[in-house]
A and B are shown apart, each in its own frame.
Chain A
């Protein structure tokens, strides 16, 4: 099928899509957007998290055909040109990235949390990120980064 959707503010059109393949596959293999990562393909790790119509979802669990006509924002869509999103900046500064495989999903999930909650509490942060697994950092530096991004966002 031909798939049309809006990705990171641009209308995109790709052909020969198998409608049962995942949105994650479409983004990575057909649209050249490898930011969203494929680690489990079963909704467990969150590394494929994207916004679908403004709501964070696992793109590995969205059928390509379901995205037809909808709006997708991936981690690639968060920075303004060279200017990183404050969440991305905080992850870099706090050393919340080791191998980086989990990072794109965590960035999107954190971005969503901070859109909804100013200065979330630690339990709220943990709850919001419960669907994102990291095998490297032990999470402490990720929590530091989320707190830093939240502080900066609250001040600005």
Chain B
């Protein structure tokens, strides 16, 4: 096995161009499980952890550019106040050891429908910056996930960063699992209120071949909310929102839960998170 340890981003892109089949490794919390169990024996590994710029985040034109190699623990500590949805999701990932090492870039690379970063990225309208020797492009999160564990990247591309606006309103994340720590989502839901555009963003996890938005639910609720004189939400509205979110999913029966359970759980999570977020919006006005 060849092992590359590029120190710079251009060097990493050159190696990936030369070895399109190479497996990038960041925190290794997905890659190493496969290596240890011999599920996957790549001929070439590219270690991305020496590239300083992947571990940095900064603001460009009012949006964050967060390097793909920033681990969950740092997202929680450093960006928790301004990216509350992503931070909530990050707190549910694995254990402290996993959060110290695992990255959003790795979650995007793995593109598992159960990945916890995806619903908040979808709800916030994040974009993924991918790059190759040919250049750089931004892919909206809702075009990034293309199939079960597949994403929109070309073989010579690597994930540089994601771009996301600081929250302009309350955000929520909810996840169902058998216990609190160390649990893969049975299903999950991310919600972001965007008072600046008077819209609501959503992200459904682990209930379809890919993480996805619940577009019908977003359109419905945007028509119901009165942002200027926000009253408590009627139960019928919250319930309808929950139904539409559940309908947006196409879950399967598997070892973690049945399709029916997932659909039910999604409608409950959507209803509750909407209630919490709207109450927070009303309190803070």
Listed in ascending order, the chain A residues whose CB lies under 8 Å from chain B are: 1, 18-20, 22, 41-44, 46, 49, 55-58, 60-63, 65-66, 68, 109, 127-128, 130-132
Provide a sorted-by-A list of 28 A–B residue pairs whose CB atoms are within 8 angstroms: A20-B41, A22-B32, A43-B32, A43-B95, A43-B98, A44-B182, A46-B95, A55-B101, A57-B97, A57-B101, A58-B29, A61-B27, A61-B29, A61-B98, A61-B101, A62-B28, A62-B32, A63-B32, A63-B35, A63-B45, A65-B3, A65-B5, A66-B25, A130-B96, A130-B181, A131-B94, A131-B95, A131-B182
Task: Tell whether, in the assembled complex, residue B97 and residue A56 are in contact, meaning their CB atoms are under 8 Å apart.
Answer: yes
Task: Tell whether, in the assembled complex, residue A61 and residue B180 are in contact, meaning their CB atoms are under 8 Å apart.
Answer: no
Extra pairs beyond A55-B100, A131-B96 (17, CB < 8 Å): A20-B35, A43-B98, A46-B95, A55-B73, A55-B101, A57-B97, A62-B101, A63-B25, A63-B31, A63-B45, A65-B47, A66-B28, A109-B96, A131-B97, A131-B181, A131-B182, A132-B95
**Residue in chain A with minimal CB distance to B47:** A66
**Residue in chain A with minimal CB distance to B101:** A57
B37 at the A interface (CB under 8 A): yes
Knowing A20-B45, A56-B96, A131-B94, the reply to whether A41 touches B3 (Cβ < 8 A) is no
**Residue in chain B with minimal CB distance to A61:** B32
Task: Tell whether, in the assembled complex, residue B5 and residue A42 are in contact, meaning their CB atoms are under 8 Å apart.
Answer: no
Knowing A60-B32, A65-B45, the reply to whether A131 touches B25 (Cβ < 8 A) is no
Please give me the 6 A-B residue pairs with the lowest Cβ-Cβ distance, nearest first: A131-B95, A19-B3, A130-B181, A41-B36, A61-B32, A65-B3
Knowing A20-B3, A130-B180, the reply to whether A43 touches B47 (Cβ < 8 A) is no
Q: From residue A130, how far is it (CB to closest CB) to chain B in Å?
A: 4
Task: Tell whether, in the assembled complex, residue B97 and residue A42 are in contact, meaning their CB atoms are under 8 Å apart.
Answer: no
Size category, B interface = 20 to 34
B52 at the A interface (CB under 8 A): no
Most chain A CB inside 10 Å of its own CB: which residue of B31, B96, B180: B96
Task: Tell whether, in the assembled complex, residue A1 and residue B3 are in contact, meaning their CB atoms are under 8 Å apart.
Answer: yes
A20 partner residues in chain B, CB cutoff 8 A:
1, 3, 35, 41-42, 45
Knowing A20-B45, A61-B101, A130-B182, the reply to whether A43 touches B29 (Cβ < 8 A) is yes
Task: Tell whether, in the assembled complex, residue B37 and residue A42 are in contact, meaning their CB atoms are under 8 Å apart.
Answer: yes
* Alpha-carbon distance between A86 and B277 when the two chains are bound, in angstroms: 45
* Alpha-carbon distance between A65 and B96 when the two chains are bound, in angstroms: 23
B247 partner residues in chain A, CB cutoff 8 A:
none
* Alpha-carbon distance between A55 and B35 when the two chains are bound, in angstroms: 23
B33 at the A interface (CB under 8 A): yes
Most chain A CB inside 10 Å of its own CB: which residue of B29, B36, B42: B36
B165 at the A interface (CB under 8 A): no
Q: From residue A144, how far is it (CB to closest CB) to chain B in Å?
A: 20
1/0 contact trace for B148-192 toward A, CB 8 Å? 000000000000000000000000000000001110000000000
B29 partner residues in chain A, CB cutoff 8 A:
43, 58, 61
**Residue in chain B with minimal CB distance to A1:** B3
Q: From residue A117, how far is it (CB to closest CB) to chain B in Å?
A: 12
* Alpha-carbon distance between A49 and B180 when the two chains are bound, in angstroms: 20
A49 partner residues in chain B, CB cutoff 8 A:
97
* Alpha-carbon distance between A41 and B29 when the two chains are bound, in angstroms: 11
Task: Tell whether, in the assembled complex, residue A58 and residue B1 are in contact, meaning their CB atoms are under 8 Å apart.
Answer: no
Quick one: which of A66, A131, A132 contacts B49, CB cutoff 8 A? A66
B5 partner residues in chain A, CB cutoff 8 A:
65, 68
Q: From residue B3, how far is it (CB to closest CB) to chain A in Å?
A: 3
Most chain B CB inside 10 Å of its own CB: which residue of A61, A68, A128: A61
Q: From residue B270, how far is it (CB to closest CB) to chain A in Å?
A: 27
Knowing A19-B45, A20-B1, A130-B95, the reply to whether A41 touches B37 (Cβ < 8 A) is yes
Task: Tell whether, in the assembled complex, residue B28 and residue A128 are in contact, meaning their CB atoms are under 8 Å apart.
Answer: no
* Alpha-carbon distance between A19 and B1 when the two chains are bound, in angstroms: 7
A41 partner residues in chain B, CB cutoff 8 A:
33, 36-37
Task: Tell whether, in the assembled complex, residue A128 and residue B47 are in contact, meaning their CB atoms are under 8 Å apart.
Answer: no
